[in-house]
């Protein structure tokens, strides 16, 4: 008799993850794509760059789910609707490989927290807490865009800054294992 490993069935049912994100504008997206292509060549990286439509800065990760739970979606939308923020400045000026348990590590374009980005991350986190969505927060929020995943590790180094003004934030559904994102809702910032 062939029995499945404990917990295997539960893992197989996880199909979606949800997160809040900022997307770069068109010019920043193009510059990020050019940077990723240049880094692949210079560092002889084998991995493909993340497609342009998936480049983003994650504000808060809500978790993985079997489908998209209506209750979590309603709570997330309610929390997001409470956010009143002016446009958010994002500046990313260094690359580095983040550490992790996987063989392939994320190569990211990162930067320091701007005042407006810090305020947004904090206020959205507080609104999600009030809405009853438990978050696994890092002790220090580091804004970053993942460029690719590769076995080769790249030490932190400065790059020409890539900056944009985010005029909205989005709730995004990731279809696990399919490398596909779906924007479920967007909230514009006050002008």
Q: What is the pLDDT of residues 3-31, one digit of tens each?
A: 444 444 445 588 899 999 999 999 999 99
Classify domain 14-188 at the CATH topology level.
Cyclic Phosphodiesterase; Chain: A, (3.90.1140)
Q: At what angle do helices 115-131 and 70-81 cross, to 10 degrees?
A: 130
Neighbouring residues of 91: CB distance < 8 A, sequence distance ≥ 6 = 111, 112, 114, 161, 162, 163
Specify the pTM. Answer: 0.89
**Beta 144-150 vs 16-22: how paired, if at all?**
unpaired
- Residue 48 sits at φ, ψ, to 5 deg, of -80, 150
Check if the beta carbon of residue 168 is closer than 8 Å to that of residue 87: no
Residue appearing with tokens 């993340």: 50
pLDDT in tens, 33-69: 999 999 999 999 999 999 999 999 999 999 989 989 9
pLDDT in tens, 131-181: 999 887 777 899 999 999 999 999 999 999 999 999 999 999 999 888 899
Separation between Cα atoms, residue 91 and residue 175, nearest integer Å: 28
Question: Does 188 have pLDDT greater than 50?
Answer: yes
Check if the beta carbon of residue 184 is closer than 8 Å to that of residue 171: yes
Residue appearing with tokens 């978790």: 63
Query: How many C-beta neighbours within 10 Å does residue 167 have?
Result: 16
Question: Does 191 have pLDDT greater than 80?
Answer: no
Q: Which helix (H) or strand (E) holds 173?
A: strand 168-175
Separation between Cα atoms, residue 99 and residue 78, nearest integer Å: 34
């Amino acid at each position: 008799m062939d029995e499945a490993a404990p917990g295997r069935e539960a893992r197989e049912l996880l199909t979606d993850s949800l997160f809040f994100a900022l997307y770069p504008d068109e010019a920043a997206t193009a510059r990020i794509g050019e940077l990723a292509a240049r880094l692949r060549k210079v560092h002889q990286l084998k991995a493909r760059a993340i497609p342009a439509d998936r480049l983003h800065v994650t504000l808060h990760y809500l978790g993985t789910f079997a489908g998209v739970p209506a209750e979590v979606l309603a709570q997330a939308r309610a929390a997001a609707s409470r956010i009143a923020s002016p446009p958010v400045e994002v500046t990313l000026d260094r690359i580095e490989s983040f550490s992790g348990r996987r063989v392939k590590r994320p190569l990211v374009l990162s930067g320091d927290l701007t005042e407006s980005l810090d305020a947004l991350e904090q206020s959205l986190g507080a609104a999600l807490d009030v809405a009853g969505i438990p978050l696994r927060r890092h002790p220090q929020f580091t804004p970053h865009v993942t460029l690719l995943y590769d076995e080769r590790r790249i030490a932190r180094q400065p790059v020409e800054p890539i900056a944009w003004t985010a005029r909205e934030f989005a709730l995004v559904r990731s279809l696990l294992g399919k490398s596909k994102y779906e924007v479920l809702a967007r909230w514009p910032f006050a002008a």
